[in-house]
Amino acid sequence: MILALLSDIHGNLEALNACLKHARNAGAKRFAFLGDLVGYGADPAAVVEIMMHQAAEGAIVLRGNHDDAVANPASYMNDSAKDAIDWARQALSEKERVFLARLPLIAKEDSAFFVHASANAPERWNYVDSPAAARTCAEASGCPYTFCGHVHHQMLYFQRREGAMSAFRPVPGSAIPMRGHRRWVAVVGSVGQPRDRTPAAAYALFDLSRGEITFHRVPYDQLAAAQKIRAAGLPASLARRVELGI
């Protein structure tokens, strides 16, 4: 069974569709969306529609901080993020807003734990951006495998013998064995707003039977997505980010 892990879609319909197609071609049978479905991008409603459909078919769909901010405006966000959320709020229907507000923060299945930010106090949106943060996250999840997003860079943390974790920057397209006797935290990257100077969308596939994870980068029409952001009157910096992957 191959599970597709997608996070931080941020209203980028072009990137989402490209990743879904790539994952289906790779044999993905199940999907987990790790939050931040909206914010920044120009297609919040279309993305939420797809998520409602996916959830009805049994996909894991979690709430991220941007999804949360639609109902509960967040004071910590910078101006362009806030502008994008304000815009998304009016672009979404009541039904879509309720769907976002009711999404769970975490999901747990067998040996895997899914969360948007960190398993340690998920509602506080802590970043898993260091081996120390990954260790806290893995200990809180209590599972061999923890999958998260929030940080827009792909990273694989693995537990060393004495419990501390090490960081490994995965090579896209290369399957990595993850033996279940040690703990792993996979940060799957961002579908809709990568920030490592590579515009290609990021997601990961977890092959449960083989115990292997493969991080992927999927090229998509980022110029079209950026153009939509400009046309919607959203901050130009958000269009630039999508265009250049910055």
Nearest-approach distance from CB 176 to other proteins, in angstroms: 6
What x-and-dash track marks residues 120-159 binding other proteins by CB under 8 A? Answer: ------------------------------------x-x-
What x-and-dash track marks residues 156-175 binding other proteins by CB under 8 A? Answer: x-x-xx--x-x-x-xx--x-
Q: Is 28 helix (H, G, I), strand (E, B) or coil?
A: coil
108 or 182, CB closer to other proteins? 182
Instruction: Select from 185, 125, 135 the least CA-distant residue to 155.
Output: 185
174 or 237, CB closer to other proteins? 174
Exposed, middle or buried by CB within 10 Å (0-12, 13-18, 19+), for 95? Answer: exposed
Nearest-approach distance from CB 183 to other proteins, in angstroms: 12
> How far is CA 99 from each of CA 96, 105, 198, rounded to the nearest angstrom?
5, 13, 32
Q: Is 111 in the site for other proteins (CB under 8 A)?
A: no
Q: Which of 176, 208, 244, 246 contacts other proteins by CB under 8 A?
A: 176
One DSSP character per residue, 38-77 reads SSSSS-HHHHHHHHHHHHHTT-EE---HHHHHHHS--TTS
Would you state the structure tokens that stand for residue 112, as one six-digit string? 């895997």
Q: How many residues bind other proteins (CB under 8 A)?
A: 14
Q: Which residue has the tokens 């694989």?
A: 156
Residues that bind other proteins (CB under 8 A): 156, 158, 160-161, 164, 166, 168, 170-171, 174, 176-177, 179, 181
